[in-house]
Amino acid sequence: MLTPNLRSRTLIAATDELARWIEELGFILGEGPSANCSGNGRPVLVEDLARTGAGWPAFAAGAVEAGVAAVFAFPVQVGNATFGVLELHRDTPGPLDTADVTEALAWATVGTWVMRHLTPGLVDENLFPDLTERLASRSTVHMATGVLVERLSVSTDDALAILRARAFTDHQPIAELARDILAQTADGR
């Protein structure tokens, strides 16, 4: 996932729908392993999410309900600049062994190479066929945030918080809610 900052992160790839949902949950709530990892540039290793919660009460509850028992996030970075996160999860609690950590760090290094080659205007759509759609999805969220800023006379952070809360409450992907808001705006509502 590309994470220039917490508000504009974009999922680049997910292994399955559960992985997509876990990323979406973290984005909606503004908390979770990816947020912490991108914020501090260090791996986040939570071996028993149900027991510890890791300081993310809403994320932990939602992830555990979805079947996630452990989460691990590794920074995708050059030097001290973190611009992505490799997030892993599993359905059984327990720590990663040394070989697993080493492999995850290697994949984060591969992620660094990929991210460095995703320069706007240079993305090879044949290599990353659904990236354009994913980037557009988060762009839609940012446009809807702007609409809420204007409508409600609130800050960007508050507008995004409102959008996230509504998506969470309605169990709706945040991009879908954003498209609805933009459609209402286009219809003059």
Model confidence over 40-57: pLDDT tens digits?
A: 889 999 999 999 877 899
Q: How far apart are CA 58 and CA 55, in angstroms?
A: 9
Give the up-direction half-sphere exposure of residue 35: CA atoms within 13 A in the CB hemisphere: 17
Q: Is residue 81 helix, strand or coil?
A: strand
Q: Are 23 and 13 in contact (CB under 8 A)?
A: no
Which CATH architecture best describes the domain 131-186? Orthogonal Bundle (1.10)
- What pLDDT was estimated at residue 11? 72
pLDDT tens, 94-149? 999 999 988 888 888 877 776 666 555 544 555 555 555 555 566 778 788 888 88
Residue 69: is its pLDDT beyond 90? yes
* pLDDT over 80 at 7, yes or no: no
The structure's pTM equals 0.64
The upper half-sphere exposure of residue 129, i.e. CA atoms within 13 Å in the direction of its Cβ, equals 1
CA distance 145 to 139: 10
pLDDT of the residue at 128: 53
Check residue 76 and give its pLDDT.
Answer: 83
Span 72-100, pLDDT tens digits: 999 887 777 777 888 999 999 999 999 99
What pLDDT score was predicted for residue 16?
87
89 neighbors 74 (Cβ within 8 angstroms): no
State how far the Cα of 71 lies from the Cα of 19, in Å rounded to an integer: 11
Extents of the domains making up the chain: 6-116, 131-186
Sign of CA dihedral 39, 46, 21, 55: negative
d(CA 47, CA 90): 9
Task: State the architecture of 6-116 in CATH terms.
Answer: 2-Layer Sandwich (3.30)
Bigger pLDDT: 150 vs 92: 92
Strand order in the sheet with 81-90: 44-46, 70-78, 81-90
CB atoms within 10 A of CB 171: 8
Q: Cα(26)–Cα(70) distance, rounded to whole angstroms?
A: 14
